[in-house]
Amino acid sequence: MINLLPPQYKEELQREERFRLVLILGLLLVVFLICLSLALLSIRVYVSGEIQAQQILVEAQREEGGELRLERMRELNSDIAGASSFYANRVLLSDVIERISAAFPSNVYLTSFAYTPVSQRGGKGAPAPAKAKIALAGFAPQTEDLLALRANLGQITLFKNFYFPPSNWIRAADINFSFEFEL
């Protein structure tokens, strides 16, 4: 189609067209910015609600956790006290064997060693019960050697309540002896 309008009208139509285009683009930009701000506002409201919910949960857990931590600490303290008491009252068997072997004269031989732990029951004010019983059997060439062994063991304060049966003292030489004592 041929445009027979004068150039003045043509320019006016082009300006009108540009104005409409700018107006439409401006309105689209304004609508986009409004939608974007509404979307950001809704995200902000959602996130702040989540943050407040998490803070409430954290405070509740702190209050609960404080009580739980305190209870757990009491539990651990009682476990540690029990373990400490156990280790304080224990007797090392290696230490006992070392002391027994040091007490034996050079020509007395040990043929049997029996260690029997005793359960510890006793209330406050009751004498401390024995921690273990030990039974030994062996060979001594003479009665004097057996007397020396008895004296050496009697000097060790860890050992108490010795029982040497009378059968140990019947023979004067080549004695197969046995005895018991407590720790």
- CATH level 3 topology of 93-182: Alpha-Beta Plaits (3.30.70)
Encoding tokens for residue 84?
A: 């400490």
Q: Assign 129 a pLDDT band (cuts: 50, 70, 90).
A: low
Rounded to two decimals, what is the model's pTM? 0.47
Q: Can you give the pLDDT at residue 31?
A: 97
Q: Can you give the pLDDT at residue 60?
A: 84
Reported as a single tens digit per residue, the pLDDT across 51-69 is 999 999 888 887 777 677 7
Q: Can you give the pLDDT at residue 120?
A: 56
Please say whether the beta carbons of 105 and 71 come within 8 A. no
Stretch 89-93: mean pLDDT: 71
In sequence order, what DSSP letters do the residues of 13-73 get, joined into one string? Answer: HHHHHHHHHHHHHHHHHHHHHHHHHHHHHHHHHHHHHHHHHHHHHHHHHHHHHHHHHHHHH
Q: Can you give the pLDDT at residue 98?
A: 86
- CA pair distance 39, 108, nearest whole angstrom: 98
pLDDT at 83 over 90: no
